[in-house]
Amino acid sequence: MIEARFKLDYPGFSLDVDLALPSTGVTALFGHSGSGKTTLLRAIAGLERVRGGRLAVDGEIWQDENTFLPTHQRPVGYVFQEASLFAHLSVRRNLEYGMKRTERRAASAVPKGDTASHNFSKIVDLLGIGHLLDRQPDRLSGGERQRVAIARALLTQPRLLLMDEPLAALDLARKEEILPYLEQLHEELSIPLFYVSHAPDEVARLADHLVVLDAGRALATGPLTETLARLDLPAMSLRLGEDAGVVLDATVAEHDTQWHLARVEFPGGSLWVRDAGHAIDHHVRVRILARDVSLALQPATGSSIVNSLPVRVAALGDEAHPALCLVRLDAGGVPLLARLTQRSAAALRLTPGMEVWAQIKAVALVG
């Protein structure tokens, strides 16, 4: 468990958070510009001195009323928007610079099932940068520079890996290049990662836990899908982009080679998605937008919609426009969202506890 309690005031901005976060997986700090994401990350790193703050990592105090570990003593790796590599050093020597602190660090960030410290070749292979070791930074693409920066941060053997919008400076092609490597880090490393972003695709693909920040306050915190499905917050506070929706963890169960589709299973049932070539039993994430979910009192027949799930109405909430409402659904314990007009909800006489069918028009495979 990571405890983070910080309160500070600047002219025009204040940060006031009291968080208990998991010490595994990826925690996304999500919010609009100026919401406090970077300030919170800097406080965790010790770059922002917050008097009276508290930071404890798995019971080890890094900061409280009596203790303040300076940044250079905190076992954190920090990756910024810009890679900030040493221009006069080769990639190899940039990485070796990151290793200088390893002898003073406990080897706590290790691949799952591996009791040894991170080593140079393992990190280089994980991030696919072996062929870049003899290049100078000015001969790297933006995505390659960020992969080197991440490798350098990991080679410090951090207890926490902090990433402050690491893809913000990259174009779409470079983002698509680096996201699979970030997903692989998620799968292969046990180190907790705090990831600052306001990009919905990155949060959907990477996050396990979500902290939604607004004006320096945490509006919501919790597991990704549960938090995205909340109805008790301001209408736009949890939007990943312009549309509400949820992200589900699923497993590939079947391929339909004739129609290039794959069936994925999750605890609430199964869904057909476009086949991305993943093997049977491969773990994937799917994103279901509320706008793509309609409701019916009976299973649909003679419809182009191929995904239909029995669900229970859990709650109804208002939307930003008075003509619309959001309906939270329960699919075998997994939350979904549907956006309907208020008129449709009234025509169906939707009430909490009611059994209906969710018809899902499109399911996006996001990772």
- Per residue in 40-96, pLDDT (tens digit) is 999 999 998 898 899 999 999 999 989 999 998 999 999 998 888 999 999 999 998
pTM: 0.86
Least confident of 78-87, 103-112, 223-232: 103-112
Q: CATH 3.40.50.300 occupies which residues in the chain?
A: 2-228
pLDDT band at 235 (very low <50, low <70, confident <90, very high): very low
Domain 2-228, classified CATH 3.40.1160.10, yes or no: no
Q: CATH 2.40.50.100 occupies which residues in the chain?
A: 245-365
Domain 245-365, classified CATH 2.40.50.100, yes or no: yes
Give the residues across from 171 on adjacent strands. Answer: none
Query: Is a pLDDT exceeding 60 seen at residue 116?
Result: no
Mean pLDDT taken over the chain: 88
Q: Which of 340, 268, 273, 338 is nearest to 306 (CA)?
A: 273
Q: Where are any strands of DSSP class E within 168-268?
A: 193-197, 209-214, 217-223, 245-256, 261-266
